[in-house]
Amino acid sequence: MRPALEVADIVRAHGEEFRRANTGTLSAAQKRVLSAIERCRTAALGGHVEACDRCSHQRIAYNSCGNRHCPKCQSLARAKWLDKRLSELLPVEYFHVVFTVPEPLAALALQNKRLLYGILFRASAESLQSIAADPKWLGAKIGFFAILHTWGQTLTHHPHVHCVVPGGGLAPDGRSWIRCRPRFFLPVRVLSRRFRTLYLQYLERAYRSGKLQFFGELRCLKELANFAAFLRRIRKSEWVVHAKPPFGGPGQVLDYLGRYTHRVAISNHRLKAFYGGQVTFAYKDYKQPERPKAMTLTAVEFLRRLLLHVLPDGFQRIRYYGFIANRQRTDALALCRELLNSPAPEPPRERLSYPERLKQLTGKDILRCPICKLGQMMRIGEFGRGAEPRIDSS
């Protein structure tokens, strides 16, 4: 069912006002995201006409924009991604580890997204791999994937990486599988300190090579003395690495992935009201998770916060490491399964269509006729961009 309120409604109503207020500061990528969201599933992108094979009810299905920042366009991307992950899950306990940078670094990352998000991936991945390889803790080569999120619940800039890791890894000689202790993967304090060391090491290297940009209140950091003092303050703070309770097994991992991997900064279902240029949305306060809360912002401020989370063009927000890295995944997973005495999953007999995959994942049949509830909606015609077809809705 279509939500009563969508992000697209806010963009269509206040997008031009926002563009005028931010002339000269919006990036080309942010402009494209605004345009994509306001045109998504409208006549501007064309579409097709469907008719029920039982009652002949007809409806228009407009094309999606496909932009990875659009709240309406993630289901298909998620279904395709999950199809590929099904064969990669191992019959072991899985762990969820989150790496977060301190707030002062979040401000700097906003001005250097591609570089500092890349450092976030690199430092968190190397922290996991180096601590796991230490015989004191696990002594194994691990494999995992990492997902970048850049938002907090109130749409503020809060870059962090979620890592999903099997509980164990390959022995250095590749002849055995080393299991981690039950419900314990790696010590978060040790991970935190290694993460801090590596991140600041790569950040200082980027500064010395002249790759960092500084604007506004951060302009003073161009001076070496000021940047050195900035690093000293951050080095003294404790960095947050959070290990969530482990998943029970591959089934729970898949359920988590289906809900989590292709999230955007805010879903349409969190929007509660839009009136008089004000937007109200629900958010979770993790200090009081049992109490639902709501925040109201002007539409222009809402759009400003939304666009903070537009990623640089071509930036990969899901990355793979260790024995599931792209270049070695097939052979390494085959070895892991052999050592775990676990047969490879049978390949699907036939490739599921998007509606079939969505139904399997969510139970929602998007082709079921909304009128008679018995028939299937079948495509009977197409129309191009800008055309508005007429249908018989009787």
- Give the mean model confidence (pLDDT) for residues 314-328: 93
Contact of 73 with 67, CB cutoff 8 Å: yes
Contact of 218 with 175, CB cutoff 8 Å: no
| Number of structural domains in the chain | 1
**pTM of the full predicted structure?**
0.89
Contact of 310 with 155, CB cutoff 8 Å: no
158 part of a folded domain: yes
pLDDT band for position 360 (cuts 50, 70, 90): low
- Give the mean model confidence (pLDDT) for residues 155-183: 93
Residues 66-122: tens digit of each pLDDT:
899 998 887 777 777 877 787 788 988 899 999 999 999 999 999 999 999 999 999
76 part of a folded domain: no
- Give the mean model confidence (pLDDT) for residues 269-289: 90
Contact of 99 with 195, CB cutoff 8 Å: yes
Average pLDDT of the chain is 89
Contact of 40 with 8, CB cutoff 8 Å: yes
What is the domain range of residue 239?
Answer: 91-265+315-339
- Give the mean model confidence (pLDDT) for residues 305-314: 94
Q: Helix (H, G, I), strand (E, B), or coil: what is residue 102?
A: coil
392 part of a folded domain: no
pLDDT at 34: 95
Q: What is the DSSP string of 178-214?
A: EEPPTT--S-HHHHHHHHHHHHHHHHHHHHHTT----
pLDDT at 36: 95
Residues in the chain: 394
pLDDT at 84: 77
- Give the mean model confidence (pLDDT) for residues 281-305: 90
Per-residue burial over 304-333, b if 16 or more Cβ lie within 10 Å, else e, is: bbbbbbbbeeeeebebbbbbbeeeebeebb
Residue 294 CB neighbours (<10 A): 11
Contact of 132 with 138, CB cutoff 8 Å: yes
Q: What is the DSSP letter of 141?
A: B
pLDDT at 331: 92
181 part of a folded domain: yes
Q: Which of 16-20, 74-78, 262-266 has the lowest mean pLDDT?
A: 74-78
pLDDT at 17: 93
Q: Helix (H, G, I), strand (E, B), or coil: what is residue 160?
A: strand
pLDDT at 280: 96
Instruction: Indicate the residue type of 302.
Output: F
138 part of a folded domain: yes
pLDDT at 54: 92
* 298 beta partners: 278
Residues 229-248: tens digit of each pLDDT:
999 999 998 898 998 877 77
- Give the mean model confidence (pLDDT) for residues 125-145: 96
CA 75/CA 259 separation, integer angstroms: 10
* % of residues, the chain, pLDDT over 90: 66
CA distances from 17 to 29, 38, 167 (A): 18, 14, 50
CA 57/CA 51 separation, integer angstroms: 5
pLDDT at 1: 52
Return phi, psi of residue 186, to 5°.
Answer: -140, 155
326 part of a folded domain: yes
Residue 93 CB neighbours (<10 A): 22
Residue with the bigger pLDDT between 184 and 207: it is 207
pLDDT band for position 349 (cuts 50, 70, 90): low
171 part of a folded domain: yes
**348 pLDDT more than 60:** no
pLDDT band for position 394 (cuts 50, 70, 90): low
* % of residues, the chain, pLDDT over 70: 93
CA 129/CA 142 separation, integer angstroms: 6
36 part of a folded domain: no
pLDDT at 179: 92
